[in-house]
């Protein structure tokens, strides 16, 4: 019975922490954790875009997909970026992301080649920082008849069991966040290719 009461209390604490005030100063870069390999909670979306793979990747350079993300549920969208290490686009490059709600995240590039772009988000100043160890985003670009299939997997690694349950309860918002961004990106890519 005590474990159940502890679990319910912890869930209440996590739920009550959703309104953390934005920091006065942006976070400093810290050493990223090792990239997670298992125990993720996963969101996925895909779209076939009627562009060749090279044309799609060029469009992504000109109009990054993050500019098409909009707030969804309790997820804020990125509004500004500051490169902290390296050159953005190169493996290992790290940048600070300012969110529309005044919070920040820090992310780094894990992989960037014609068929894939992977990144790790590992600093969060909002409520996600209490329960999320890291997010690993994987974008795949697969040539198909009529264009390129853009696959986006968003893998959230909880810090503990209680956080896993809270994250699972928010997966519709997380999936809606990336799916909506990909839909808007796809529409813009289609319009640009005509």
Average pLDDT over residues 156-173: 94
Mean pLDDT value across the chain? 91
In contact, 166 and 140? CB cutoff 8 Å: no
SS3 (DSSP) at 153: strand
Q: What does the pLDDT read at residue 177?
A: 96
pLDDT in tens, 79-102: 999 999 999 999 999 999 999 999
Task: Specify the range with the lowest mean pLDDT, choosing from 14-18, 24-28, 99-103.
Answer: 14-18
CA distances from 30 to 34, 85, 102 (A): 12, 11, 20
Cβ neighbours of 131 (radius 10 Å):
21
The Cα 44–Cα 178 span in angstroms is 8
pLDDT in tens, 124-133: 999 999 999 9
pLDDT cut 70: percent of the chain above it: 91
pLDDT in tens, 151-164: 999 999 999 999 99
CA angle 70, 76, 79 (to 5 degrees): 75
Q: What does the pLDDT read at residue 74?
A: 87
Q: Domains of the chain by range and CATH?
A: 39-193 (3.30.530.20)
């Amino acid at each position: 019975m005590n474990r159940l009461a502890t679990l319910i209390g912890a869930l209440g604490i996590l739920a009550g922490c959703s309104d953390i005030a934005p920091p006065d100063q942006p976070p400093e870069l810290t050493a990223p954790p090792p990239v997670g390999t298992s125990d993720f909670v996963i969101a996925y979306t895909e779209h076939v875009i009627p562009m060749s793979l090279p044309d799609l990747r060029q469009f992504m350079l000109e109009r990054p997909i993050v500019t098409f993300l909009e707030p969804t549920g309790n997820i804020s969208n990125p509004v500004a970026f500051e490169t902290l290490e390296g050159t953005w686009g190169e493996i290992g490059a790290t940048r600070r992301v300012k969110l529309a709600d005044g919070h920040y995240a820090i992310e780094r590039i894990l992989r960037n080649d014609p068929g894939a772009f992977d990144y790790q988000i590992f600093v969060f100043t909002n409520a996600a920082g209490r329960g999320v160890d890291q997010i690993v985003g994987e974008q795949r670009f697969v040539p198909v008849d009529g264009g390129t299939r853009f696959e986006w997997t968003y893998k959230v690694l909880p810090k503990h069991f209680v956080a896993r349950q809270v994250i699972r309860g928010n997966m519709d918002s997380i999936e809606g966040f990336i799916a909506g961004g990909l839909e808007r990106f796809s529409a813009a890519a289609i319009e640009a290719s005509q």
